[in-house]
Amino acid sequence: MRVVFAGTPAVALPALDAIAESRHELVGVVTRPDAPAGRGRRLTASPVGARAGELGVPVLKPAHPRDAEFQDALRLLAPDCCPVVAYGALLPQSALDIPGHGWVNLHFSVLPAWRGAAPVQHAIRAGDEVTGATTFRIVKELDAGPTFGVMTETIRSTDTAGDLLARLADGGAGLLVQTLDGIEDGSLEAREQPADGVSFAPKVTVEDAHVDWAEPAAAVDRRIRSCTPAPGAWTTLGGERVKLGPVALADGSLPPGQLEVRKNELRVGTGTQPVRLGEVKPFGKTQMPAADWARGARLETGARLGG
């Protein structure tokens, strides 16, 4: 089939590379417009846009996919299908109607669970033991289209959102190519999603990443891992923000938010058992081990995080 791939961030690159190496003809790529990046705030192509340039395929960067100029350019590429991974813009029906086999999205959950922008983060925070990826035909309603294929992945007790998403991106790339193969040879039929089991995963905000030390230790652990690497979990000390890396459960008892300074570790109380802090990033400083931060900041047992 002639395919036009749509995607933007680095998590979409495994799928783009897999399609480029498949039997299908990659005739173009759609991605978000170049955006300011780095200290100089220079306009920079998205990871998908940059890889498309390396592959030598035409790149379309519409301000919005409803733009008539973009849709005319897409029609000229004459795609049979448009596979999508984390494109980042809503597609109007006029664009959805262009390829004969529609737009096929790779979504990082087992639908209908966790429809929305942040399925991996929400699965970790909810304490799910298993997640996965699903391919489905995009329709107007959010992530509600009929599904083609699914893969599952165990969520490990130490997984951050970045860890889990990387595994799903790699495994999902193969699933997406298999889906395109099945659509082309007619061996796959889309099936409507069940009405039961629907849950939603909106974008994770900076406030969502604010750690509440009154929560149980397991919930604190999951919140921090679900926000790593982005937007980054955080707390406060003396009114200034401190970013937090993943923690480990510890023995003993401490009041929520209270620090216990030990020789080579720093513990903090939660609503249940304490947790041992890992890497931290104090305001205006580089990331460092929590014990080093405690020594440098001359923290003492009894100090409190979170105000």
What is the span of the domain harbouring residue 248? 207-296
pTM here is 0.95
> Which helix (H) or strand (E) segment is 136 a member of?
strand 130-137
How far apart (Å, rounded) are the C-alpha atoms in residues 115 and 98?
24
Read off the pLDDT of residues 85-100 as tens digits, 9 standing for 90 and up: 999 999 999 999 999 9
Tokens of 288: 């460092």
Residues 162 and 252 in one domain: no
How far apart (Å, rounded) are the C-alpha atoms in residues 210 and 212?
6
Read off the pLDDT of residues 254-303 as tens digits, 9 standing for 90 and up: 999 999 999 899 999 999 999 999 999 998 899 999 999 999 999 999 99
Residue 112 falls inside a structural domain: no
Q: Measuring CA to CA, which residue among 176, 161, 179, 278 is closest to residue 229?
A: 161
How far apart (Å, rounded) are the C-alpha atoms in residues 246 and 205?
18
Residues 169 and 101 in one domain: yes
Read off the pLDDT of residues 113-133 as tens digits, 9 standing for 90 and up: 999 999 999 999 999 999 999
Establish how many alpha carbons lie within 13 A of residue 200's alpha carbon, considering only the half-sphere containing its beta carbon: 5
Give the total number of structural domains in the chain: 2
Residues 13 and 158 in one domain: yes
Residues 169 and 288 in one domain: no
Residues 232 and 86 in one domain: no
Average pLDDT score over the chain: 96
How far apart (Å, rounded) are the C-alpha atoms in residues 198 and 138?
16
Residues 261 and 159 in one domain: no
Residue 88 falls inside a structural domain: yes
Instruction: Count the Cβ atoms, other than its own, within 10 Å of residue 76.
Output: 10
Residue 122 falls inside a structural domain: no
